Structure 1
Amino acid sequence: MLKADLRRAALARRRALPANELARRSAELQKRLLENFAVGAWKWLHVFLPIPQQHEPDTWRIIHRIWERKLPVQLAVPVVQPDGQSLRHYHLTPATTLVGNRWGIPEPVGAAEVFPQQFDAVLVPLLAFDEEGHRVGYGKGFYDRFLLECRPEVLRIGLSLEPPVPKITDAWLGDVQLNACVTPEEVRWF
């Protein structure tokens, strides 16, 4: 399947999800992530904050559970830069002040910058993924560029509300593959 077709179909299905189903799937993602990965052994975890109007997985569930369990991992979140091409990353703590940007995504204010080489794992947003670990995002390439800046051994973990498709036919060398993907039903390793 082609990325553009997968993107349109996935966005339509996601927007049609009732709030209670989105919450259920997000809870399953949080549970599977914390049960199947040694999150407490990581020094830095990069996590995206959800865009509510896109019905993205509620990563706040993961963040709050990490804080509740007092896991020693530090969290960082991305901020889209004024060039519209790149991301910078900032430390997120329970005391971090957040302000909504033009897309409604909360962004940290006055937080310390964290650099891509520091991350042990990155939670990667996506709309669809295939059985080989390729993913379809919103098509801007933010995460492909960002992941290339990380250390080669960084663990790239997709969070998907749906199971994989068999194959994304127009994946190319510039697409950074996932190491694993968490769905409400399972964890897939690649």
Structure 2
Amino acid sequence: MKLRTELRDARRGLSLQRQAKHAAAIARHLLDSNLFSEKKVIAVYLCNDGEVNLSATIEGLHERGHSLVAPRMKAGGYMAFYELERFVSLETNAWGISEPRATNSVESESLDVALVPLVAFTDAGDRLGRGGGYYDRYFQHCDTFMVGIGHELQRVPTLTPHRWDKSLDAVVTEKGWRLCSGRAKTCLSLNSQAIQS
């Protein structure tokens, strides 16, 4: 898909300084929200391919006592989430992506919030990933609160979702939050400057 290639190239083309600035702004938007006011089990990702680096967010969530999990790729186009322990070294898979050790796996039903990477997003909460369908398959039958994490340049007017695509409840970029679902608009109380329309 041409759009996927163009947007992956665009995010990889961001300077290290711009990437760091976006990551810091996104961490601030996330940690200043009430989404993490109570202890939760939170799925995060470990960045690759120009995705937003969540290191500052992960550190902030660990400091607040949340349980964090991150994905490991499995055969057959599947993934599983494992506990992301603080100060424990990561492993690198065959694609050069960092992963947690395969020690304590977590069932999908126990995940309260998922911070997920994306290639493109719409204001309606449609998400375009890399094309493997890993996240869509994993979260297909879960009620996890889905937050897409991306750069503002990944915003597009429309996408044509497939019936199996998992919609996002909200998206956070360096510019702030976009609330996409009814439950996001109901449960999140945010500083008005943090909400993009």
Across the two proteins, how many residue pairs are aligned to each other?
Answer: 179
What CA distance in whole angstroms lies between the structure 1 residues aligned with 2:117 and 2:16?
A: 19
Instruction: Could you list the structure 1 runs, at least 4 aligned residues long, displaced by more than 6 angstroms after superposition.
Output: none
**Greater RCO structure (CA 8 Å; 6+ sep):** 1
Question: Which residue does 2:193 correspond to in 1?
Answer: none
Equivalent position to 1:79, from 58, 72, 79: 72
What secondary structure sits across from 1:38 in the alignment? helix
1:59 aligned onto 2:25: no
1:185 aligned onto 2:178: no
What CA distance in whole angstroms lies between the structure 2 residues aligned with 1:172 and 1:126?
A: 16
Amino acid at match of 1:71: R
What CA distance in whole angstroms lies between the structure 2 residues aligned with 1:36 and 1:21?
A: 23
The answer on whether the counterparts of 2:147 and 2:172 sit within 8 Å (CA) in structure 1 is: yes
Equivalent position to 1:167, from 144, 150, 158: 158
Once the two structures are superposed, the pairs formed by residues 1-190 of structure 1 within 5 Å of their partners are 4-51=1-48, 54-67=49-62, 70-83=63-76, 85-150=77-142, 152=143, 154-162=144-152, 164-168=155-159, 170-190=160-180
The answer on whether the counterparts of 1:40 and 1:72 sit within 8 Å (CA) in structure 2 is: no
The two structures have a TM-score, normalised by structure 1, of 0.88
Q: Following TM superposition, by how much is the alpha carbon of 1:98 offset from its aligned partner in structure 2, in angstroms?
A: 1.3
Task: Note the residue ranges of structure 1 that are not aligned, 5 or more in a row.
Answer: none
The answer on whether the counterparts of 1:128 and 1:162 sit within 8 Å (CA) in structure 2 is: no
Task: Note the residue ranges of structure 2 that are not aligned, 5 or more in a row.
Answer: 181-197
Q: Percent identity?
A: 29
What CA distance in whole angstroms lies between the structure 2 residues aligned with 1:95 and 1:40?
A: 23
What secondary structure sits across from 2:100 in the alignment? strand
What secondary structure sits across from 2:28 in the alignment? helix
Q: Following TM superposition, by how much is the alpha carbon of 1:101 offset from its aligned partner in structure 2, in angstroms?
A: 1.1
Q: Following TM superposition, by how much is the alpha carbon of 1:110 offset from its aligned partner in structure 2, in angstroms?
A: 4.7
What secondary structure sits across from 1:33 in the alignment? helix
